[in-house]
Homo-oligomer: A and B are copies of this chain.
Amino acid sequence: MTRPPRSTSRQDRRRESEKLILQAAEKVFAEAGFGGATMQLIADVAGLPKANLHYYFPTKEALYRQVVENIFQNWLKAADIFDAAPGPVEGIGAYIDAKMEISRRHPDGSKVWASEVMHGAPVIQDYLETTLVDWTQGRMEVIRRWIEEGRMDPVDPRHLLYMLWATTQHYADFSHQIETLNGGDPLSEQQWSAAKASVKAIILKGIGARPSNEG
């Protein structure tokens, strides 16, 4: 009797375990890099025996690949805002807000992504060549349209995108440096707001963005 309380089904447990491992892996990969991370440390962070990791993910590379792919999906999601907007003030402004929020909430993911690209994108080169190229061209088209409509200055869309990526992701990738320059403390709520406002103000003014409903 005392039927053991089957709190979770097998499928649920599998999903939970995989999620647990992926979260631990993201943290460890972010802190130590792919080469510096060890399966043992990831296992310890996840609170599971090392052999269990290899049951769900056959190799360290497979686990790493899954982490990077998840991050990439998240990365793309922030882009939807771009299209739905009538003009650069709303579109780029919201995009900056969204990416700054990602930098704040998921700095580990941003770091893993940066590390992957910095080392030549050994595992997601195909994504860069297909999905990212398509995405980039789509947004460049949007920017060109805004320029044609006179909603902003004729800046090079490509370098504008690079500037947006660089500036927003900097707050995640270099969070340690920023903390050190902030007296060792993480940015406060107000400081994050100021950061977002500064970035938006400089870039939007820099590209001569004009509000949609002209007065």
Residues of A within 8 A of B (CB): 30-37, 111, 114-115, 117-121, 125, 128-129, 132-133, 136, 153, 155-156, 158-160, 162-163, 165-167, 169-171, 173-174, 176-178, 180-181, 194-195, 198-199, 201-208
Report chain B residues within 8 Å CB of A34. 33, 35-36
Report chain B residues within 8 Å CB of A162. 167, 170-171, 174, 178, 195
Give the interface SS of chain A, mostly helix, strand, loop or mixed.
Answer: helix
For residue A30, which residue of chain B has the nearest CB? B118
Copies of chain A in the complex: 2
Measured CB to CB, the closest approach of chain B to A86, in angstroms, equals 22
Given contacts A35-B35, A162-B174, could you give 16 more A-B pairs where the C-beta distance is less than 8 Å?
A: A33-B33, A33-B34, A33-B36, A35-B37, A36-B36, A114-B114, A115-B118, A117-B176, A118-B173, A121-B176, A153-B205, A155-B198, A155-B201, A155-B202, A163-B167, A203-B206
Measured CB to CB, the closest approach of chain B to A56, in angstroms, equals 23
A129 pairs with B180, CB closer than 8 A: yes
B33 pairs with A119, CB closer than 8 A: yes
Report chain B residues within 8 Å CB of A159. 194-195, 198-199, 202
Report chain B residues within 8 Å CB of A118. 30, 111, 114-115, 173-174, 176
A-B contact pairs, 7 of them (CB 8 A): A31-B119, A115-B115, A118-B176, A121-B176, A128-B177, A129-B180, A158-B181
